[in-house]
Structure 1
């Protein structure tokens, strides 16, 4: 019997412990949320796989208006609409950027736009006026922070509280249950850089990597993204014919952030921060906690990114309790120094216990572990200063060393841990005047040397993003490549 309507294919299901924390681009600066933003919202620009140069998406064209690199202009495509039918115009673009700066939410991406003076909209043209030269500006507006939202749905001076959103990206958000599931359907009205029409996708959110693993073993998910435990990843081999393991080029970095807000707290003292750096054994963490699925990191900028250095290895070449004791003794600091170490649950809790053992082994520190399950609450507690040290993950916004520097150690940084350096700020501005990014390598290495001496944070390890898919699912490798979650590339055999 002939069918009048084709049967609807089941969505491809992704399991992850990387949650959406908000659907409002003005209120979040995290990988789980931005992964979804790259599908339901459009930016003026976007990144193609493997390319460091963004290309037009909601824009027809974009360019700096002069060699001074202080004004950047885009022409918005004509006829674009949000999924609710409202027009996407240059005024909507201006409003989207203005509200990020106006709201300036402590968990939002405003620090990424610290150099933005004003946005001008005239007809289809949008012009960004910058306080100083910034060759990385096109890359910054191609991130999730550059998501264009509907002025009719998103208030100008506060975050949107509704658990829904209308965008103009390749997908439409069809359903969302906070911390549980999110379903996306292809957007038939989309016009932009993506030329491939995707299939329906369902994202299921889990609390820990162990929960993702349980769902994977039960075969209730087709893809495991940012979720499986290190031991499981390490055990995947060529003989696993039903599994595809993809590793991207994106260098996900992990740091210890040190709270310098108050000189009365232990991390307010330089000698204490340097002593902590003296005691970290990265090789032990990489081998025993992460089963060699991560690589020790000795610099602010990870290996493989132009501008990488070995600054922390140069200053703290090995775990050295005797040297740490000498630092503290010379500074007149009584031991053991009592510190509070913040972390989340799952694998992070295992890492935190290993770090506690390293710091307490010498008798120089006494560590209280403080676990927080909810990511948003964890962020708020770290910003509030509840922890002396906390574990912190950073996924690059775009392929340039600047994304590991200005947002993390520049004045007004997202860590808000009390660190500021006029010298670092000056060198950051110097790096941003080079359109040939190779010419900024010397400056980036100078910044990393300063950070190794000041120790506002300590690099610990980094890894490539890894995505595991069933063999019957194609395109999973596109989710591992960079900060853009290219769901439209997914297919079933």
Structure 2
């Protein structure tokens, strides 16, 4: 998940707004991952979601939602996520009876559907509806959603969708309850892939025009009753939703109203005032630092604040193809030259607000993650060690004029200035190049690679180290819109990624990913900085509003209301 990870999570892919700037958290005396107040919830009532965005994609083919947020309220998939504050997220059966059965070579996956499932319009959910929904996502007119399956399915790279390309042969439906996927290569994380939006059922013949984005046929607890662009989306109960078969959704509220185009600062004020419907509402945007300070000083308000234990990995990417940065020892010097405490303060005003210091590439809350630190140093760095490594690499006088493009979105400029000052202590002199966010993205994901270092932030699209490692360090992710910002390409690592991806047993795969984490950091293509924390506010009558170990967002599917 790229630096727009927040927008993806809540189902929005428009340009970065002010909401995305607020990567903050409560202080260490509060309880990350949980709210300060226990609210007894029951069925009924209307839940309000307040967002500053003016639109959301409800077409599963177009959605980049995480499984536990908006899209999960209206669409079920073959599998779903179970989140917990006490451990990593796990994959569970949703429309399927299990999380999939793999062939011996890991290339064929078979799922059996549960009995008696229906869409909101009464259409029985069979393997045909799942297959058609997936095939739709390949059509250019309905693109934009998470697309891992498009290259993993055999023949997917050249498939153009059901309207032009007919059936995709690598998805077989031998009977109404069975669906079989033939992959181009072994892939142990396929059970996570089928939890993504594109695997929601769509009745054949539906979704042939753009209106499906606001009027989809739903399979989750709710269906779309009204969608007024820029104003609101109203969800009401899906009478055909089978609660007994759904392990991921409580479906407690009678209805859900998403209020669009709300000003972020006003949202926080409304939630703290708690009048009228705002008592049963929550904000989908991070709480900004100034308002967070107000919340912390108000004991009553603190009960409405929920904070993640950690979150996206923030890092400094070093272009391994550029000049002195091609030398691993030079890159290792950066590990000691950075001041992570200064970065924390620049991010959110203090270390406890920003999030814990990072030393690994795999984020907290991901199964198989191992904790280690290849470059132990004080939080503010070890300048002498950095200078020593630079001298050993042949640069006793340091480095000059390193190009440091930085986005003007968020507060990245402040963070970059803090790093610039820290690097200069070790004789590493950089030249900041402020760019608007689109221009910055074009530079760091383009094919030229015309920069030396840059800031990045990443939270995986699904709860596997696979989604940490390959997007940032696989050779295939260099340029062409990929987020391998360090331009890191090592055949041994690519082979290790392929081996880990092809390992079906999660425990065995986890060991391989942890090995990849260490191996990559030996080359120091990036400097892990912090795991950013996120804070959210909810109304006083909102309960079961919790953030698990992963991802760093509340689980919309479990929220209920007090009577």
TM range (shorter): 0.7 to 0.9
Give the corresponding residue for 1:246.
Answer: 306
Give the corresponding residue for 2:101.
Answer: 64
- 2:76 aligned with 1:42, yes or no? yes
Q: 1:298 Cα shift?
A: 1.6
Counterparts of 1:258 and 1:199, CA distance in 2 = 50
Give the corresponding residue for 1:492.
Answer: 562
Give the corresponding residue for 1:123.
Answer: 175
Alpha carbons 2:314, 2:458 under 8 Å: kept? yes
Where 1:69 maps in the other structure, the secondary structure is coil
Counterparts of 1:17 and 1:276, CA distance in 2 = 38
RCO comparison, higher one (Cα < 8 Å, 6+): 2
Distance change >3 Å, CA 57–CA 237, structure 1 → 2: same
Q: 1:199 Cα shift?
A: 3.1
Could you list the per-position Cα deviations for residues 200-257 of structure 1 after superposition, in whole angstroms to 9, with x for gaps in the alignment? 2233456986565455456575323441024544664596234333345674333345
Where 2:236 maps in the other structure, the secondary structure is strand
Give the corresponding residue for 2:544.
Answer: 475
Distance change >3 Å, CA 456–CA 334, structure 1 → 2: closer
Give the corresponding residue for 1:427.
Answer: 496
Alpha carbons 2:110, 2:179 under 8 Å: kept? yes
Q: 1:148 Cα shift?
A: 3.6
Following superposition of structure 1 onto structure 2, how do residues 188-227 of structure 1 map, counting pairs within 5 Å? 188-191=239-242, 192-193=245-246, 194=249, 196-204=251-259, 210=265, 212-217=267-272, 219=274, 221=278, 222-227=281-286
Where 2:69 maps in the other structure, the secondary structure is helix
Q: Which moved more, 1:34-43 or 1:278-287?
A: 278-287
Counterparts of 1:391 and 1:106, CA distance in 2 = 28
Alpha carbons 2:500, 2:509 under 8 Å: kept? yes
Larger % of strand: which?
1
Distance change >3 Å, CA 281–CA 187, structure 1 → 2: farther
Q: 1:134 Cα shift?
A: 3.2
Q: Which moved more, 1:84-93 or 1:41-50?
A: 84-93
The structure 2 residue matched to 1:337, chosen from 394, 402, 414, is: 402
Give the corresponding residue for 1:4.
Answer: none
Q: 1:17 Cα shift?
A: 5.9
Could you list the per-position Cα deviations for residues 325-347 of structure 1 after superposition, in whole angstroms to 9, with x for gaps in the alignment? 648864999622222112523x5
Q: 1:37 Cα shift?
A: 1.4
Q: 1:172 Cα shift?
A: 1.8
Counterparts of 1:390 and 1:209, CA distance in 2 = 28
Counterparts of 1:402 and 1:175, CA distance in 2 = 38
Number of corresponding residues? 476
Q: 1:40 Cα shift?
A: 1.7
Alpha carbons 2:89, 2:365 under 8 Å: kept? no
Counterparts of 2:371 and 2:263, CA distance in 1 = 33
Give the corresponding residue for 1:284.
Answer: 342
Give the corresponding residue for 2:529.
Answer: 460
- 2:14 aligned with 1:14, yes or no? no
Alpha carbons 2:401, 2:431 under 8 Å: kept? yes
Where 1:48 maps in the other structure, the secondary structure is strand
Give the corresponding residue for 2:220.
Answer: 169
Alpha carbons 2:340, 2:530 under 8 Å: kept? yes
Alpha carbons 2:146, 2:196 under 8 Å: kept? no
TM-score by length of 2: 0.69
Give the corresponding residue for 1:368.
Answer: 433
Q: Which moved more, 1:178-187 or 1:137-146?
A: 178-187
Counterparts of 1:109 and 1:324, CA distance in 2 = 41
Instruction: Give RMSD over aligned pairs.
Output: 4.4
Q: 1:68 Cα shift?
A: 3.7
Could you list the per-position Cα deviations for residues 441-462 of structure 1 after superposition, in whole angstroms to 9, with x for gaps in the alignment? 5422331233224455443211
The structure 2 residue matched to 1:186, chosen from 220, 225, 237, is: 237
Counterparts of 1:37 and 1:79, CA distance in 2 = 22
Alpha carbons 1:208, 1:227 under 8 Å: kept? no
- The gaps in structure 2 that reach 5 residues or longer are 1-43, 155-169
Alpha carbons 1:328, 1:334 under 8 Å: kept? no
Q: 1:367 Cα shift?
A: 0.4
Could you list the per-position Cα deviations for residues 166-224 of structure 1 after superposition, in whole angstroms to 9, with x for gaps in the alignment? 33122223344567644332322223414544332233456986565455456575323
Where 1:189 maps in the other structure, the secondary structure is coil
Give the corresponding residue for 2:187.
Answer: 134
Counterparts of 1:464 and 1:393, CA distance in 2 = 12
Counterparts of 2:529 and 2:221, CA distance in 1 = 37
Counterparts of 1:360 and 1:219, CA distance in 2 = 48
- 2:352 aligned with 1:299, yes or no? no
Alpha carbons 2:271, 2:538 under 8 Å: kept? no
TM-score by length of 1: 0.77
Alpha carbons 2:402, 2:430 under 8 Å: kept? yes
Could you list the per-position Cα deviations for residues 240-283 of structure 1 after superposition, in whole angstroms to 9, with x for gaps in the alignment? 234333345674333345667xx579978867765655543222
Following superposition of structure 1 onto structure 2, how do residues 84-103 of structure 1 map, counting pairs within 5 Å? 84-100=121-137
Give the corresponding residue for 2:92.
Answer: 55
Give the corresponding residue for 1:394.
Answer: 458
Distance change >3 Å, CA 258–CA 397, structure 1 → 2: same
Distance change >3 Å, CA 160–CA 196, structure 1 → 2: closer
The structure 2 residue matched to 1:110, chosen from 144, 147, 156, is: 147
Q: Which moved more, 1:234-243 or 1:130-139?
A: 234-243
Counterparts of 2:297 and 2:73, CA distance in 1 = 32
The structure 2 residue matched to 1:75, chosen from 112, 116, 133, is: 112
Q: 1:130 Cα shift?
A: 2.8
Counterparts of 1:384 and 1:110, CA distance in 2 = 19
Q: 1:426 Cα shift?
A: 1.9
Q: 1:391 Cα shift?
A: 4.5
Give the corresponding residue for 2:37.
Answer: none
